Amino acid sequence: MGFSTLIDILGAAIIGGMVLLSVRALMLNSSEKSNQFQNELIAQQNLVSIVELIEHDFARIGYCENTDSIEAPEDMIVYADSTKISFKTDFAQGFQNIRGDGTKDILTYEFGPTITSTPNPYDRLLYRYAKGETKNGSNLGLTEFRLNYFDNLGNELLHPIDTKLISYIQIDLKVEDSYGYDTGNDEKVHSEKYPTIFWRQIRVAAKNMSR
Amino acid sequence: MGGKAALILVLGYSTIILIIGLNMNNISTTAVDNSAGYYENSFAKEIARSGVNFAASNLSRSSSWEPSSSPYSFNGIENLAISVRDSGDIKIVTSTGTHQGKSKTIEVKIAMASFSQYAYFSDVEGDVWWSEKDSVWGPFHTNDNIQVQGHPYFAGPSTSHGGTMKYYTNKTKDSPTIIGTYSPGLTIDIPTDGITNLAAYSSAGGCVLSGSEINVEFKGDSIKYSTTNPKKYKTVLGSDLAPNGVIYAKNADVRIEGTVKGKWSIGTNKNVYIENDIVYADQPDPMDKNDPSQDLLGIISQNNVIISDNIANRSDVNINAAIYCQDGSFTVENLTTRALSGSINLIGGITQKTRGGVGTFIVNKFGKVIALSGFSEKDYKYDSRLLRKVPPYFPSTNTFKILSWLE
């Protein structure tokens, strides 16, 4: 082993170390991105779940299997504000039987309180409950649930909302990952820690209201 | 030794990166699947909705239409199945749309719409303005423009018009309040065969009256009528006179009054004169569409339905009926010369070709409205039962209305 051999070994060690460090950095970066994508996927799946449920329920505003019991359009929504709506409907009898039982029910959607058990400081419960039942809420990372109402001539209704004048509803949703990634890193802003997805349904016109 | 360790290290890192890469690929695929799944569901729903509209359109042209070509092709694929079945006077349309393996079914109940459902219907409005004081409770339609001054109130459940909305000053100052469904740009033609159809039904289980002067008085279960001048009355049980509930005066004006029990339609290819109050034996609550009263009257005229200028009608007149004037108006006799007659108290609805007058007035220099002749007050209440109940063989709009929409 001469001096040149020593240099060779040292050089190889330095180059090998640099390669290993690069590989490690690449791995860490990939791991972080993988987690972020995973969190975005969770948020996206949560959003789709909420949206499908809302679209299903809002399409049934005013519906009743017994057509004689169907209310006039102006009486189908019983309460409305920016974060809560109650309307008459007829619940499906089961997954296979989407018809109602002919009895009118009242279903309420309500933006609930902030959840303190998750790292995300803004996620809130979304309550969906029938009249007379206890509030059932689920945490799907909802951080915004806003309802705007419009009359027949396209004018936005002012609060307090006169439910008789509602013709169209605009729904805004924002879903964030409840647990986030690298949440302790103060250098990152909120949206970098918690993937965010926004959804807006413009002018929902329930068919039974516009029949 | 060192070479082996380096090799293991490199292989280890490579494996980890490979796993992470695969995981990211899976996430991307799942995210796309998620998005595509929502899109496919929405697409299937829109196909199903198109199917319902397609069926409703065809049924409006021919009530016996059947979807014999189902399943229909959308984008070259047979992905739209439609079925229509009858349930009493209701048709149930089921439409199933399929896209990329996702299916969506919509079931809609529809029924033929009658003109009796309208609180107010006109073909021609003329130069009439709906003002701040006007309100219409019940379905409203005109094929003409709606001219609004101030904020008239259209309380639905449906309001539609064929012409445009015209504002006296501008949209801000004169915007109407419309409750329920609003459908601008919709034209519903008054059929030309409403009276001939009624005449046909009167010949098949109803009663056809002909003579020089026809008077009909509803007297509960009985009907008193005369077809001659001078009058020679006969009184018979209503169900014996016209089992299907249709009385038709052929080629003569008919003069009516009395207390109606049961479901009746009375009409003529001339004019109908209202001689005195004509009311239901069991008065319904106009606001209650499920009111149990079984009494229902349709007054159907080729020309005009006219409130006679006589002593009985000079101090208010009470009318319970759905009124239909195919070519004319709901109006009063001697509009400009008759004495002040109080109020028209109507429970029902009015369909007329041209909006008719029932009184005249002037506005004095102090802005006060002063009645000159006829009826100075109108108390029109929509009979909510007319949303579903129809007097016998009352003219149809020949269109279907949606009763319920399930998806």
Can you give the pLDDT at residue A89?
95
Of B264, B282, B262, nearest in space to B394 by CA:
B264
Mean pLDDT of chain A: 88
pLDDT at B2: 62
Nearest CA to B191 out of B154, B156, B143 is that of B143
Q: How far is A164 from chain B (nearest CA, A)?
A: 6
Judge whether B403 is closer than 8 Å to chain A, CB to CB: yes
Rank B83-87, B303-307, B378-382 by mean pLDDT and report only the highest: B303-307
Choose the closest CB to A72 out of B105, B156, B402. Answer: B156
Query: Measured between CA atoms, how close is A36 to chain B, in angstroms?
Result: 10
Burial of residue B362, with CB atoms counted within 10 A of its CB: 0-12 exposed, 13-18 middle, 19 or more buried: exposed
Query: Which of B23, B387, B402 comes nearest A34 by C-beta?
Result: B23
Report chain B's C-alpha Rg in angstroms.
30
Give B-chain residues touching A67 at CB under 8 angstroms: 90, 109, 403-404
Residue ranges of B 59-88 with Cβ closer than 8 A to chain A: none
pLDDT of residue B388: 82
Chain B residues closer than 8 Å to A52 by CB? 38, 41
- B-chain residues within 8 Å CB-CB of A164? 179
SS3 letters for chain B? CHHHHHHHHHHHHHHHHHHHHHHHHHHHHHHHHHHHHHHHHHHHHHHHHHHHHHHHHHHHHCCCCCCCCCCEEECCEEEEEEEEEEECCEEEEEEEEEECCEEEEEEEEEEEEEHHHCCEEEEECCCCCECCCCEECCCEEECCCEEECCCCEECCCEEEECCCEEECCCHHHHCCEECCEEEECCCCCCCCCHHHHHHHHHHCCCEEECCCCEEEEEEECEEEEECCCCCCCEEEEHHHHCCCCEEEECCCCEEEEEEECCEEEEEECCCEEEEEEEEECCCCCCCCCCCCCCCEEEEEECCCEEECCCHHHHCCEEEEEEEEECCCCEEECCCCCCCEEEEEEEEEEEEEEECCCCEEEEECCCCCEEEEEEEEEEEEEECHHHHCCCCCCCCEEEEEEEEEEEC
Q: What is the mean pLDDT of residues B372-388?
A: 89
Report the amino acid identity of residue B146: I
Does residue B157 register a pLDDT over 60? yes
Q: Scanning every residue of chain B, which has its alpha carbon at the shortest distance from the alpha carbon of A40?
A: B31
Is the omega angle on the peptide bond into residue B395 within 30 degrees of 0, that is, cis? no
For residue A17, the distance in angstroms to the closest alpha carbon of chain B comes to 10
| B399 vs B113: CA distance, rounded Å | 6
| pLDDT for position B1 | 57
Residue B395 has pLDDT above 90, yes or no: yes
Identify which of B88, B29, B85, B116 has the alpha carbon closest to the alpha carbon of residue B349.
B116
How far apart are the CA of A177 and the nearest CA of chain B, in angstroms? 15
CB contact under 8 A, A30 and B20: yes
- Number of cross-chain residue pairs from A and B with Cβ atoms under 8 Å apart: 114
Contacts of A51 in chain B (CB under 8 A): 38
Tokens read off for B141: 């339609």
List, for residues B10-31, the tens digit of each pLDDT value: 788 778 878 878 888 888 888 8
Q: pLDDT band at residue A211, thresholds of 50, 70 and 90?
A: low
Average pLDDT, chain B: 90
pLDDT digits (tens, 9 = 90+) for B171-200: 888 888 888 888 898 899 999 999 999 999
CA distance B218 to B313: 17
Q: What percent of chain B has pLDDT above 70?
A: 99
Q: Measure the CA–CA gap between B133 and B146, rounded to whole angstroms.
A: 15
Quickly tell me which residue has 């009257």 as its tokens.
Answer: B297
The DSSP secondary structure of A107-146, one letter per residue, reads: EEEEEEEEPSSSS-SS-EEEEEEETTSPP-EEEEEEEEEE
Of A20, A48, A211, the CB nearest to B181: A211
CB B299 within 8 A of CB B322: yes
pLDDT given at position A154: 84
ipTM above 0.90? no
> Cβ separation of B23 and A209 shorter than 8 Å?
no
What's the gap in Å between the CA of B383 and the closest CA on chain A? 14
Q: Which of A28, A32, A56, A207 is the mutation pick for testing B, counting most B CBs within 10 A?
A: A207
Confidence (pLDDT) at A181: 81
Label residue A1 by pLDDT band (50, 70, 90).
Answer: low
Count the residues in chain B: 407
pLDDT digits (tens, 9 = 90+) for B51-106: 998 998 888 888 888 898 888 887 778 789 999 998 888 899 999 999 988 999 99
Contact B24 A30 (CB under 8 A): yes
State residue B378's pLDDT score. Answer: 83
DSSP label at residue A88: E
> What would the mean pLDDT of B108-126 be, rounded to a whole number?
92
The 8-class DSSP code of residue A184 comes to T
State both tokens at A91.
């619940």
